[in-house]
Structure 1
Amino acid sequence: MSETLLSTTIEGFQAFPFSERCRRVFARGDHLLIGVSPGNSYFSARRIAELVHWGKEFFDAVDIVHADLHVDAQFGAQGYPPEAALRRAAKEVKTTRRRIERGVADAGRDGVRAHALSDFTGSAAYRRLHGAALDALATDPPFREATERMAHGFLRSRLDGGTPDPEHLAAAVDYIAAELPFFLDTPALLGVPSSVACYHLELPLTAVLFGRTEGLSAAAGQAYAVVRPADPAAGRTAA
């Protein structure tokens, strides 16, 4: 991660672009993408409002995308039968959508759009990017290894440190793959000049997508930044 700290004063957040290229995209200020995970207590309505307000200080446009595909995987890994896992996932997605709506309203900033991940699955750009991610899972060992590490961490945080079985690990990989188009090329998906995807943690896939010259990598106009509260205690939560 770059040691360049772009802000500690606006709305109490710090921003750490991953690389020099990411820093340059951040500095353009075209667009910020906030990804929200269902079932993650970090993304309260208040936190979403704070992120939106902070983002609009730096970026011309802000979009929020929340996952609503393969969410049942996390509940299946916790032992829910398939139908119960689907019901619980639907409830969590609905709760997440309401938090986003409330957070955006509370932020009181214009030009903020909110989307479900499934809103994009019919687009040619999404299908192309998702297909590239699936191909890389089959042919690119570093990409596959980083994705599986990310999936293990995702599930372990919901299993109190337990080991997920292969079926649930595969489902978690599908969950991650469904989100990857927004780490690869948000400009192609949302029609913006450039974009910074932000999250409060550096992810295992960050170095693969933004730090190498071979294999699958992010588009030139795509950046990644860890954006977290300036108070370290405020950001301590599961991924």
Structure 2
Amino acid sequence: MQTRSPFEMCAPSPDPASPILPSMLSVKGHSHRCERIINMKEHALIGISPFNPQFSPSYVSALLAWAESNFKKIDILIPDVESAALLLTSTGTSAQKAIRKARKELNRQRRVIEPLIDKDSPATAQLIEFSDHFENTAYKKLRKMAQNEYDEHEEFRTACDAMSDCAIASRVRATTTPSTSPLPKPRGVATENYILTEIPFYLNTPVILDVRSSTLIYHRKWPIGDQLFNNRFRIAIDRNQGHGIVSISNQKPKI
């Protein structure tokens, strides 16, 4: 079987340069169970990635407005500075410069997001960083389970490494020619401190945030998602955890 490179597996995010309206967004569940959870409309956790042109101010504004009108409660998930910096150090940026650039990028995202949070809305959102829950008992248990699976299960480790390659490839793509630029090695640090740090929210946001059910919202599937839904590993997605892939329609905004 031919192996696809991370550049092929992780297609570039669509360019959201033109204005986007909430009415142009739609969501599809990763599975039938996800569709059921989405239709419950109880809680959405919106994943926002640093250094990704998908998350333009226009797109983020439309995404939050869409989510507030479709879910009873929403929260927004971004990485902490140290985690985001790993996407840069993995491509050769010095640690000091990576921290500085990561902080600048996350501050930029905060400046976009925070004015959009309606404090008076019933769906009042919180802006959450990975590190906000490092001491959360449920989070720590899920993180340890993921770490044990990574250490002991080759298929899970390979899937996580592929996701790490995707994250690294996205950053490399922005500054180099993908076909001629090999990925930096080793990738283990980025895998362990980014993918495994985020994965508890993918497995069981309800127990971490104390909600009955939750849908993780992102603009594409997680590469590891199919294997998790098909019970290929010893860790599993909670029955109250959904995953929704948001897409932008070809509808043109009315001026």
Under a length normalisation based on structure 2, what TM-score does the superposition of the two structures give? 0.80
Residues 1:36 and 1:10: Cα distance change in structure 2 (over 3 Å): closer
Aligned partner letter, 1:35: G
Q: Secondary structure of 1:88's match?
A: helix
- Give the aligned partner of residue 170 of structure 1: 188
Larger of the two Rg values belongs to structure: 2
Return the offset for 1:70. Answer: 1.9
Aligned partner letter, 1:70: S
Please say if 1:104 is aligned against 2:117.
Answer: yes
Deviations 1:106-156 (A, max 9, x none): xx7751221111111111111111111111111223322221111111111
CA–CA distance in 2 between the matches of 1:195 and 1:164? Answer: 34
- Give the aligned partner of residue 18 of structure 1: 30
- Is 2:74–2:123's contact at 8 Å kept on the other side of the alignment? no
CA–CA distance in 2 between the matches of 1:144 and 1:97? Answer: 32
Under a length normalisation based on structure 1, what TM-score does the superposition of the two structures give? 0.85
Q: Secondary structure of 2:171's match?
A: coil
**Aligned-pair RMSD on alpha carbons?**
2.4
Deviations 1:136-186 (A, max 9, x none): 11122332222111111111121132323333x112212111111110110
Please say if 1:187 is aligned against 2:200.
Answer: no
More divergent stretch after superposition (205-214 vs 189-198)? 205-214
CA–CA distance in 2 between the matches of 1:232 and 1:109? Answer: 29
Aligned partner letter, 1:132: M
- Is 1:37–1:67's contact at 8 Å kept on the other side of the alignment? yes
CA–CA distance in 2 between the matches of 1:104 and 1:40? Answer: 21
- Give the aligned partner of residue 203 of structure 1: 222
Aligned partner letter, 1:48: V
Structure 1: any 5+ residue segments left out of the alignment?
Answer: 1-8, 234-239
CA–CA distance in 1 between the matches of 2:103 and 2:161? Answer: 25
Structure 2: any 5+ residue segments left out of the alignment?
Answer: 1-20
CA–CA distance in 2 between the matches of 1:198 and 1:209? Answer: 17
Return the offset for 1:14. Answer: 2.0
